[in-house]
Structure 1
Amino acid sequence: MTLEQLRPQISTIISEHTATVDERLLSICEVLESNVPYYNWVGFYFRNGDKEELKLGPYVGAPTDHTIIPFGKGICGQVAVSNQNFVVPDVSAQDNYIACSMTVKAEIVVPIFVNGENIGQIDIDSNTPDPFSEEDERFLEFVCTQVASLL
């Protein structure tokens, strides 16, 4: 299934008003992880109240010890500060990378904005070297815009 073909599924999940926000976020993670072969860990991080840190939200993939990430630390922490997408084709080449698993080769993080404020992000790890394209970025921006409508 192509990324474009997944867009209607994401919109359908967002509009399932009988499910909680966390249930819908988890469903998005499950759809992405199961339909995109190189999306091996898919999760959401959100600003932890007024603290300068991110807190792990719903995710699919291997368990992680990184449930709290300070702003500026790792790829996710850098996106919390920069407000920019961050595509890492090779995590071993990044000085500020927080290793979640030895199998992870690449990562993409796209921020979620509500009323112009960066309130969180989608984080995707891949066990495939350099798999992410501009198409992934545009698709994940769409996902984040959809998610923002829930929050």
Structure 2
Amino acid sequence: MPSHEDLLQEFQLFARSAASVESLMERISERLHQELARYNWVGFYLLDPRDSNFLVVGPFAGSFTPNARIPFDRGLCGACATSGKTIVVHDVTNDYRYLPGTDMVKSEIVAPIFKKTKFVAEIDVESYFANTFPPADQKFVEAIAALVGKYMEGAKP
């Protein structure tokens, strides 16, 4: 199993030649889901271009169909979009904000993606196990969010 560092380097290298932000998000989602056993669903939510008070699902990999559209005032994804801060929940059954995609999820992390200083998207990782996202995982997911944000700004990492 590759380390967080190995995966981050792989994503940085791929970002240099990625054809689009969608292809970068697809690669990240697929590789994280494939390589990290407790990352049971990995995906991106993007600002809805038709209504900036909603998120729409982007590229994802995982074993269930996600919520396709989420208002800013609902769920952990909405909380991340509203606050602009990473949300880590070690046991979603204890957080009233959790908006279930499946009842199998036990923990979740959502990190915001900024283009310059504007919120534009987020990466969402869900696990079937409680306490999946310690500080090292938070740092890793936030580094991926920053990488995608830089790509969206037009900078090749």
TM-score between both structures, scaled by the size of structure 2: 0.90
Q: Distance in 2 between matches of 1:42 and 1:68?
A: 16
Moved over 6 A (4+): none
Q: Secondary structure at the match of 1:96?
A: coil
Q: Percent identity?
A: 33
Deviation of 1:62 (Å): 2.7
Residues 38-91 of structure 1, C-alpha deviation per residue, up to 9 Å, x if partnerless? 100000001112420101000001342511100020000010101110001001
CA contact (8 A) 2:29 2:43 kept: yes
Structure 1 vs Structure 2 CA RMSD: 1.2
Report the number of matched residues. Answer: 150
The answer for the alignment partner of 2:155 in structure 1 is: none
Q: 1:42 and 2:22 equivalent?
A: no
Range 92-101 or range 56-65, more displaced:
56-65
Query: In the TM superposition, what are the counterparts of 1:1-151 in structure 2 within 5 Å?
Result: 1-17=2-18, 19-49=19-49, 50-151=51-152
Q: Distance in 2 between matches of 1:140 and 1:33?
A: 13
CA distance change for structure 1 residues 143 and 73 in 2, over 3 Å: closer, same or farther? same
Deviation of 1:34 (Å): 1.0
Deviation of 1:140 (Å): 1.1
2:74 aligned partner, one-letter code: K
TM-score between both structures, scaled by the size of structure 1: 0.94
